Chains A and B, each alone.
Chain A
């Protein structure tokens, strides 16, 4: 067979000598075009099954941790007669308080004291050994952190609440200007027991693709203050422990955050994480999204276990741990030039450092990032927000 005829054979055409006797066939490019169209249809079906179709997940729902009023895990709320809120504003180089009328606690609960002082900011300067060793580890950027940290902050109190068991103050912090402006909301939270830090599933169901707005979920659960959770419903292979109940214990390749019944909160890399171990230690809540923002000692790690896309300027949701009984919720708004461009992971980590956190964890951000108080959004969710599969909330 000649080379020309061979080519014709490969492209579904008979050799020229037989062409007059064969049926007219579709061109190869048309066939490939149809294949691409079919692939698009299949992707649509895949996405529908994966993202839209609700699927109730089976779970043994084992109770792995309980909290009681009489056990070791009780903390005292701070004295409310103080005049400054150390955990939010003290480490900022320049702070301009526009409206700050709330009374913030001064006496910290017993336990490990937060190291909310300027020396921590200085520690961030040492990045000489940091490196991007693989594509899943994005290096922390010293100049990003320094630039963000030096910006003038304007703080406005948004809400405050105090009862015998829960105390919190939420502030709106604005920094920068123009398209570089960042607006975030930070709640400084004290609880007498971790049982007041609760989580809830959309429509009360452990499932994939069952979602609801954080407003509705907050109302259904009588939440005092709510932030978006880790969107566990996106995955089939992440650890899910909620309010002491184990729904699944499979790990994936993301960092994990555990809130223990003794009030401590720790983050784990996928390599260090052992589900049985954390369950034995009394895991009250387990979230899988990440990455971990701090190293457990209040310092920003050398690199974040994430991707380039997730590292960039985005709306953010995060939880931070200062000491037993003392936490912060942070929501950074984004994708809205002139109001807030969002924060990258360096900047979010710096916010947590400024708040005095020793451990902090990035939760589901983007359109999911929302904070609800008194049945209203505290922040302005990006592009109107989206329905999500779970929330973290404070409830009596």
Chain B
């Protein structure tokens, strides 16, 4: 589980960089169909799922950090 939590944000970064590049290429030449193909549609769905999971992980981490901050030994006086 810990490994998956570590890998998913990296997978999100990789997929995001891919789609930024494809988007730029598509602006130049939409006839190449980089964003309209079945493969890019499938990859887009994967990116959405990864982004959702990454966001959930970030929210959980943030909550944990918040709780840590509230413990007496970490409280800033």
Seen from chain A, the residues whose Cβ lies within 8 Å of a Cβ on chain B are 1-2, 6, 9, 31-32, 35-36, 38-39, 42-43, 46, 49-51, 231, 234-237, 252-254, 289, 307, 309-310, 364
Contact = CB atoms under 8 A, between A and B. Distances in A.
Interface size class of B (residues with CB under 8 A): 20 to 34
Nearest to A35: B13
Nearest to B12: A35
Contact of B18 (A2, A9, A46): A46
> Most chain-B Cβ atoms within 10 A of its Cβ — which of A31, A235, A364?
A235
Given A39-B18, A49-B39, A231 B31 contact: yes
Contacts of B29: 307, 309-310
Contacts of B37: 50, 235-236
Given A1-B69, A31-B10, A46 B31 contact: no
A46 B30 contact: no
B23 to A, nearest CB: 12
A6 B21 CA distance: 33
A35 B13 CA distance: 7
Contacts, number: 71
Contacts of B68: 1
A272 B17 CA distance: 36
Contact of A254 (B27, B31, B69, B76): B31
B39 A9 contact: no
A286 B25 CA distance: 26
A43 B31 contact: no
B10 A252 contact: no
Contacts of A364: 31
Contacts of B43: 46
Contacts of A235: 31, 33, 36-37
Nearest to B64: A9
Nearest to A9: B65
Given A2-B74, A43-B18, 14 more contacts: A1-B65, A39-B14, A39-B18, A46-B43, A50-B37, A51-B32, A231-B31, A234-B31, A235-B36, A236-B33, A307-B28, A309-B27, A309-B29, A310-B29
Given A1-B74, A9-B65, A43-B18, A289 B31 contact: yes
B17 to A, nearest CB: 4
Contact of B17 (A39, A253, A254): A39
B2 interface: no
B46 to A, nearest CB: 11
B55 to A, nearest CB: 16
A364 B69 CA distance: 61
A225 B32 CA distance: 27
Given A35-B14, A35-B17, A36-B17, A236 B30 contact: no
Contacts of A254: 30-31
B18 to A, nearest CB: 5
Nearest to B36: A237
A336 B76 CA distance: 69
Contacts of B38: 236
Given A32-B13, A36-B17, A43-B21, A50 B30 contact: no
Nearest to B6: A12
Contacts of B39: 46, 49-50
Contacts of B17: 35-36, 39
